[in-house]
Structure 1
Amino acid sequence: MTIPTEGRRRVIIESIAPQVDCGRFPAKRTAGDLVRVEADVFTDGHDAIAASVLVHREDSDKWIEVPMEPLVNDRWFAAFGVTEIGRYGYKVQAWVDHFETWHRDLLKRIKADTDAPVDYLIGADLIAAAAQRAVTINGGGGDAAWLHARAAVLRSGDEPKSLRNHATDPMLHELALRYPDKRYATDSNELILQVDPVRARFSSWYEFFPRSTAQKPGAHGTFADAEKLLPRIAQMGFNVVYLPPIHPIGRQFRKGPNNNPNGQPGDEGSPWAIGAAEGGHKSILPKLGTIQDFRRFVETAKKLSLDIALDIAFQAAPDHPYVTGGHKNWFKERPDGTIQYAENPPKKYQDIYPFDFESEDWQGMWTELKSVFDYWIEQGVTIFRVDNPHTKAFPFWEWCIGEIKREHPEVLFLSEAFTRPKIMYRLAKIGFSQSYTYFPWRNGKEEIAAYLNEITKPPVTDFFRPNQWPNTPDILTEFLQMGGRPAFVIRLLLAATLGANYGIYGPAFELQENKPFKHGSEEYLDSEKYQIRQRDLDAPGTLRPLITQVNQIRNTHPALQNDISLRFHYCDNQQIICYSKESEDRSDLILTVVNLDPHFTQAGFVNLPLEELGIPADRAYEAEDLLSGERYMWRGPRNYVELNPGLRGGHILCIHRRLKVETDFEYFL
């Protein structure tokens, strides 16, 4: 083993957080966040040490230094704010602090009355060196002159009392530490932080099919028809409108209603069977309108503070221009000369050809697929819901999303990958901003708590942002099929309060559509994926008022706009789940209590950790139900709840923590 080029860097830096896979991938935050960095920092012997976090924007060489403070057991921390989106670099720097070591030991010697003249000479040398560093940094000035003068005093051999006063002057301590000796500082490797728009952390999605929005019965909807829905969606409190694919639909092997493989003339087909003679992924289904109509739709949405999320499904119908126009080599050819269609045996999807990411022309294919995103970004789209990304090569996504984020840091990607956890996590690490989760199938209290604790706590939260959906066009869970209206209420309350990001397949959810294609299936009967479905969205019994109220609560209470503060609390009834969220400044505390049983009234006692939640144990506090307006005066950790699913599925309680002031009056925070 060769001798190091510099062996005097004695400080060790370990276990930096946040850090994703030893720095292989960026950690994620959103604009406005306070980023807390922690690390283990220590050295040999008994010398004092100091540490800082250094941070810079990736496009700037200017580093900002934030001093770290010790916690316990050699753990240190610092925090810095990020106000702009983009990529940042950060690292930890630490060094032996000889001045602080001298100052600390001198105070001990003075207390024991064992300080000697040589101790002050040692300090004088350290102070003079700090003065010289001040000259180097500032070109002279008051700090350097003051430090030189103080070094001279300590060398003067003045009487002990005077030396002690000068050596322990707080101003000397402050100035000397301002110019540390970093000749032998240890620097960690630089880590990357991806800062996304706030929409990555907090969003409410509403999905609908534009082709089902025509007011005339049996007619095919257009963007103009869909545009009329936007004010209604905005009034309901959503901020993202998600559209399934809007491209030409293939004619070969076109599916009929209820996924019938034998489509008939006039059948509309599946929007995910992309591409026909009219164009492919950069074209619009003519029945929906023109690109100008789409741009107007996007602009109207923006005026209503709505972002448009567009579905990107990288697959092709047999008559897609990629297949018929010279890029047949982007698809896998079988020995009989035919192209391999999508298949999940025994299921066959002859109307879809998957791309072959082992194609000889993989580079050309990568470039073209990225250009699909580029095209729609030019049309004003900044959010993409990506269909089945886990069936495409991971290196492609890392390159594609990385390039797009460098060019357009405001763009967000939602991963639709209901697959194994490690694959879902890998997709998040390589760039996807949000991810669908297993939430639709978590119904029991223990499984909900276990799963949410996994995906809302570090280190997972450093790269994975869950987006909770109770239903999608592909997912009609057994719970929704069997539980009636109360089941929809329960799943709405859970999704919207457990997740800072959540969404609904809107029309179906509002009207509580719960009929499956067949028993044991999660497919909707007469699924909108294969045919037009026109509805009366104002039909009696709609959940629109409740959805609007829940979104209003989310939009006005910052506690519900994060996931990291989620904590579950004990209730003695297994059918009642209780959890809280809190804003970063602790000014807003929301407690949600939900009856998980859609059929029967459930009651029990919830137990709250008062000290952890900042609730005084010696006086009453108020729990205000933001859904009903009712107010409850609670006292102590244990309080009674009773929930009839036919009347209310749960409480969303704003906890007003009572504080006692000197006048003996009480007020609510």
Structure 2
Amino acid sequence: MTETSSTQVTSAAAEIAAEEAEKNSTTRKGATRRKAKSTSTTTKKAAGTRKHRNSKSKAVAADTPDALIPAPVLEITDPSQFGRINVLDVTPNEECGVYPARVELGEQFTVTAQVFIEGRAKVGATAVLHTPRGRAAASRTMTCVNPGLDRWTCEMQVGEHSDVLPWEDGFAAVKRQLGNWSLVVEGWEDSFATWLHDAKIKVKVHDSDVENALDEGAELLGRWAKTRDAGLNADQKKELQAAAETLANKELTPVERLAAADNDEIAALHESNPLRDGVSPSRPVHLLVQRSKSTFAAWYQFFPRSEGAYVDQETGKIVQGTLKTSVSGLERAKAEGFDIVYLPPIFPIGVTNRKGRNNTLVAGPDDPGSPFGIGSAEGGHDTVDPLLGTMDDFKALVAKAHELGLEIALDFALQCSPDHPWVKEHPNWFRHKPDGTIAFAENPPKKYQDIYPIDFNADMEGIEKEVVRLMTLWIDAGVTVFRVDNPHTKPVRFWQDVIATITKKHPEVLFLAEAFTRPGMMRALSYAGFTQSHCYFPWRNTKEELEEYLGETNSDDAFYQHNTFWPTTPDILTAYVRDNGIAGHAVRAVLAAMGSPSWGIYNGFELIENRQRPGFEEQIDNEKYEIKVRDWSKADEYGIAEMLTSLNRIRREHPATHSYHNLTVLRSSDPNILAFARHTPAEFTGTGKPDTLIVVVNLDGHDAHQSLIHLELGDFGLPTDKGVALKDELTGREFTWSWDNFVSLAPWADVAHVLSVQY
């Protein structure tokens, strides 16, 4: 796609209409030829038709017999009405515009629209962003990428990226930029381009009407110089006036006169400050602008009760970790470059029907139970498990995280053990069997005997109020992100109400949906307000599957659903990770970190914990049901921690990894070699230089593979007549690439290249 320069146009259609009204108050004299009548009852005359009293040349004046009447601005009083120029199918926009497209502050994204006019006249298009307060904050000239389909496009950015965190000084300025922005595509008649196209032909063939054509051009440039909408400075206005006078000078040859308007200087003005006639705005498209980490985030998960756990040498029993010992997990996450630490539930765990190791139905005396079986005599969702510590201990852990620049994400599992206080306080909140007993949760053939499912049909409003109370309590304690367990088993409307209530007061709070379910439900949860979502990435392992899923994740779908790539979770350990050893872990880490702006790691990945429970796609000795004692000194033996650290460094240093809208899959000749590129133009990097990363991965964890990778140089603004210098960000080695490039990757050496273009 060809990127155009930024235009200085900042006026909205209303401002232009006001200018037109002012111009229409001037009576036009002497127009006896080619006079057109406006079909609008609200616009008396077209813009720019007033007499230029100070014009030195008759041909420059607007009242000559050959004056062209420009397209008027037509008032639109109903969303179904067309303007003078037709604008259709503006994207991003789905579900008839009911749900706003979501972008992170400073994120690069693509705008498209169909823009056209009747006949053979030429048109242009401008995309304009408006702040929540209605101010036109940014605009860009669009490029026609498919003339046959009248498809126009441009890249845009809402505000500037900010890494200021919610608890830091300066976040108030960030917060003011969050909320509902609007995007309008303004179509307009490109009178200059239409005129120049015809005039060049007439001059070339010595058409008998060439004199009229040149006079029309002189008038048009004079009107352009006086149009406030063009945003011209004094020198630019003088340049256009001088060109108009030359066009009107009959002492020169037609070729010499035309050259005054057909040159690089006027072409540059046409690109940056065009004359826009008949400006016609589209219906607004709404954008929900969210803070950093809503799109670009690196998650790290650990269980506080395992962090710092050890075996008592005298008793042989495990002594569990606490919130105080969990500081080591924060420090590990920080050292590896992650920025959000996700803690599974830290609430009291029920005793009734408590699960044992590997999800057995009978717990032993020392089995801690699943932290997802929430609630006991000590309390429910508003209480810290006494075995982990106190609320003050939790606040101290959050304070330490903030000191390290880390956010705390707390798991919010809306489910209860039979011992939860709600069972007695709100028995109507639970589903009952015909015999009057409460039914435990199940997903046949799976059964969760330690959990009572909530029945939202009885008192959804009451449950919503309680959940808002609980989330507010944890927000006050320093939580800025909630990871919600199994949201797809609760009504979408429930989450929509809860998230809207929370974010109205706390727009900085983010939500991650753990929803490995049908695509429709995942999309609906995104519409309902979930900022990010777990997804199908763990099960996309072949080249064909990954190419399709990378394209799906990094597309217009991502204006609504932000897929977060996790190679493993406590519930997911695929056959690929099981069977491909250290190389497989490295491959999945590269794909997750480079394939999506948001990714996450469940701790233990660094220690190659990849043994499956027989018959299940999850780890044996699952941490959900027991406390893990880990020897973190062994992490250096595998090199995965080092790989994670490098990947997070690359992500921080390269803006191209920050957007869901800039990935291109590259052609590769080997079925085991996957390649893709991420590209951000210079206007959106904050560095003044474009940023391009090329990722090449050998998906085979056992054998070496070679491939040719095709790079369409022009698509990324790269020189097409010479080699391009690349640096492997993982190893520091340097390469030179052109159109087709040979790559060889072996799992015992390099599983992947992450190549940055050296501009």
TM bracket (short chain): 0.7 to 0.9
Amino acid at match of 1:398: Q
1:86 aligns to 2:179 (yes or no): yes
Provide the residue aligned with 1:212 in structure 2.
306
Provide the residue aligned with 2:731 in structure 1.
628
Q: 2:548 aligns with which of 431, 450, 460?
A: 450
What secondary structure, in the 3-state scheme, does the structure 2 residue paired with 1:238 have? coil
CA distance in 1, matches of 2:408, 2:513: 16
1:200 aligns to 2:289 (yes or no): no
Q: 1:575 aligns with which of 659, 664, 672?
A: 672
What secondary structure, in the 3-state scheme, does the structure 1 residue paired with 2:345 have? coil
Provide the residue aligned with 1:663 in structure 2.
none
With over 3 angstroms needed to count, the CA separation of the structure-2 counterparts of 1:5 and 1:119, relative to structure 1, is farther
Query: Which moved further from structure 2: 45-54 or 565-574?
Result: 45-54
With over 3 angstroms needed to count, the CA separation of the structure-2 counterparts of 1:502 and 1:123, relative to structure 1, is same
What TM-score, normalized by structure 2, do the two folds share? 0.74
CA distance in 1, matches of 2:737, 2:122: 49
With over 3 angstroms needed to count, the CA separation of the structure-2 counterparts of 1:387 and 1:8, relative to structure 1, is closer
Q: Please give the residue correspondences for 1:314-333 in structure 2 after superposition, counting only pairs within 5 Å.
A: 314-325=414-425, 327-333=426-432
Provide the residue aligned with 1:312 in structure 2.
412
With over 3 angstroms needed to count, the CA separation of the structure-2 counterparts of 1:548 and 1:128, relative to structure 1, is closer
Q: 2:705 aligns with which of 603, 616, 620?
A: 603
Shift of 1:61: 3.5
CA distance in 1, matches of 2:97, 2:303: 40
1:558 aligns to 2:661 (yes or no): no
1:654 aligns to 2:755 (yes or no): yes
CA distance in 2, matches of 1:51, 1:575: 43
Amino acid at match of 2:465: T
CA distance in 1, matches of 2:348, 2:114: 56
What secondary structure, in the 3-state scheme, does the structure 2 residue paired with 1:224 have? coil
Provide the residue aligned with 1:188 in structure 2.
282
Q: Note if contact 1:9-1:95 (Cα within 8 Å) is conserved in structure 2.
A: no
Query: Which moved further from structure 2: 427-436 or 398-407?
Result: 398-407
Shift of 1:490: 2.4
Shift of 1:263: 2.0
CA distance in 1, matches of 2:732, 2:91: 42
1:536 aligns to 2:636 (yes or no): no
What secondary structure, in the 3-state scheme, does the structure 2 residue paired with 1:199 have? coil
Q: Please give the residue correspondences for 1:350-389 in structure 2 after superposition, counting only pairs within 5 Å.
A: 350-359=449-458, 361-389=459-487
Q: Note if contact 2:410-2:481 (Cα within 8 Å) is conserved in structure 1.
A: yes
What secondary structure, in the 3-state scheme, does the structure 2 residue paired with 1:371 have? helix
Show CA shifts across 1:225-282 (max 9, x none): 1023322221111111110011111222111111121224443111111122222222
With over 3 angstroms needed to count, the CA separation of the structure-2 counterparts of 1:180 and 1:323, relative to structure 1, is same
Shift of 1:211: 0.7
Q: 1:27 aligns with which of 101, 111, 129?
A: 101
Shift of 1:536: 1.1
Q: Note if contact 1:496-1:550 (Cα within 8 Å) is conserved in structure 2.
A: yes
Shift of 1:128: 9.4
Q: 1:509 aligns with which of 590, 605, 608?
A: 605
Provide the residue aligned with 2:439 in structure 1.
340
CA distance in 2, matches of 1:62, 1:510: 49
Shift of 1:301: 0.9
Amino acid at match of 2:753: I
Q: Note if contact 1:30-1:85 (Cα within 8 Å) is conserved in structure 2.
A: no
1:285 aligns to 2:385 (yes or no): yes
Shift of 1:401: 2.2
Q: Note if contact 2:535-2:564 (Cα within 8 Å) is conserved in structure 1.
A: yes
Q: Note if contact 1:590-1:652 (Cα within 8 Å) is conserved in structure 2.
A: no
Provide the residue aligned with 1:592 in structure 2.
695
Q: Note if contact 1:86-1:196 (Cα within 8 Å) is conserved in structure 2.
A: yes
With over 3 angstroms needed to count, the CA separation of the structure-2 counterparts of 1:11 and 1:270, relative to structure 1, is same
Shift of 1:77: 4.0
1:240 aligns to 2:340 (yes or no): yes
Query: Which moved further from structure 2: 10-19 or 66-75?
Result: 66-75
Amino acid at match of 2:392: Q
Provide the residue aligned with 1:276 in structure 2.
376
Q: 1:527 aligns with which of 612, 622, 625?
A: 622
Show CA shifts across 1:449-484 (max 9, x none): 12222221x321222222111111111212222333
What TM-score, normalized by structure 1, do the two folds share? 0.83
Q: Note if contact 1:610-1:616 (Cα within 8 Å) is conserved in structure 2.
A: no
CA distance in 1, matches of 2:101, 2:488: 21
CA distance in 2, matches of 1:402, 1:321: 27
Show CA shifts across 1:162-206 (max 9, x none): 9x999999899999x999776xx6443322101222312222211
Q: Note if contact 1:206-1:242 (Cα within 8 Å) is conserved in structure 2.
A: yes
Q: Note if contact 2:101-2:286 (Cα within 8 Å) is conserved in structure 1.
A: yes
With over 3 angstroms needed to count, the CA separation of the structure-2 counterparts of 1:76 and 1:558, relative to structure 1, is closer
Q: Note if contact 2:309-2:627 (Cα within 8 Å) is conserved in structure 1.
A: no
With over 3 angstroms needed to count, the CA separation of the structure-2 counterparts of 1:365 and 1:554, relative to structure 1, is same
With over 3 angstroms needed to count, the CA separation of the structure-2 counterparts of 1:137 and 1:562, relative to structure 1, is closer
RMSD: 4.0
Q: Please give the residue correspondences for 1:99-178 in structure 2 after superposition, counting only pairs within 5 Å.
A: 112=207, 114=209
Q: Note if contact 1:626-1:651 (Cα within 8 Å) is conserved in structure 2.
A: no
Identity of aligned residues (%): 36
Provide the residue aligned with 1:484 in structure 2.
581
What secondary structure, in the 3-state scheme, does the structure 2 residue paired with 1:22 have? helix
Query: Mind listing any 5+ residue stretches in structure 2 that lack a counterpart?
Result: 1-40, 42-75, 160-176, 312-317, 683-688
CA distance in 1, matches of 2:737, 2:127: 44
CA distance in 1, matches of 2:563, 2:109: 19
Show CA shifts across 1:289-342 (max 9, x none): 1222111211211121111111111111122122211x2222222211112221
CA distance in 2, matches of 1:5, 1:219: 71
Shift of 1:575: 2.6
Q: 1:475 aligns with which of 572, 586, 589?
A: 572
Shift of 1:584: 3.6
With over 3 angstroms needed to count, the CA separation of the structure-2 counterparts of 1:221 and 1:215, relative to structure 1, is closer
Provide the residue aligned with 2:114 in structure 1.
40
Query: Which moved further from structure 2: 312-321 or 623-632?
Result: 623-632
With over 3 angstroms needed to count, the CA separation of the structure-2 counterparts of 1:261 and 1:5, relative to structure 1, is closer
Query: Mind listing any 5+ residue stretches in structure 1 that lack a counterpart?
Result: 657-667
What secondary structure, in the 3-state scheme, does the structure 1 residue paired with 2:334 have? helix
Q: Please give the residue correspondences for 1:53-92 in structure 2 after superposition, counting only pairs within 5 Å.
A: 53-58=127-132, 60-64=133-137, 66=139, 68-71=141-144, 72-73=146-147, 74-77=150-153, 80-83=156-159, 84-92=177-185
Query: Which moved further from structure 2: 586-595 or 260-269?
Result: 586-595
Provide the residue aligned with 2:741 in structure 1.
638
What secondary structure, in the 3-state scheme, does the structure 1 residue paired with 2:693 have? strand
CA distance in 1, matches of 2:342, 2:182: 33
With over 3 angstroms needed to count, the CA separation of the structure-2 counterparts of 1:400 and 1:191, relative to structure 1, is farther
CA distance in 1, matches of 2:691, 2:192: 44
What secondary structure, in the 3-state scheme, does the structure 1 residue paired with 2:474 have? helix
Show CA shifts across 1:616-642 (max 9, x none): 565555554333344445566131414
Q: Please give the residue correspondences for 1:395-474 in structure 2 after superposition, counting only pairs within 5 Å.
A: 395-456=493-554, 458-474=555-571
CA distance in 2, matches of 1:31, 1:5: 32
Amino acid at match of 2:179: G
Shift of 1:65: 7.0
What secondary structure, in the 3-state scheme, does the structure 1 residue paired with 2:633 have? coil
Query: Which moved further from structure 2: 420-429 or 619-628?
Result: 619-628
Shift of 1:596: 2.1
With over 3 angstroms needed to count, the CA separation of the structure-2 counterparts of 1:546 and 1:15, relative to structure 1, is same
What secondary structure, in the 3-state scheme, does the structure 1 residue paired with 2:584 have? helix
Q: Note if contact 2:409-2:483 (Cα within 8 Å) is conserved in structure 1.
A: yes
Q: Note if contact 2:214-2:257 (Cα within 8 Å) is conserved in structure 1.
A: no
CA distance in 1, matches of 2:287, 2:630: 45
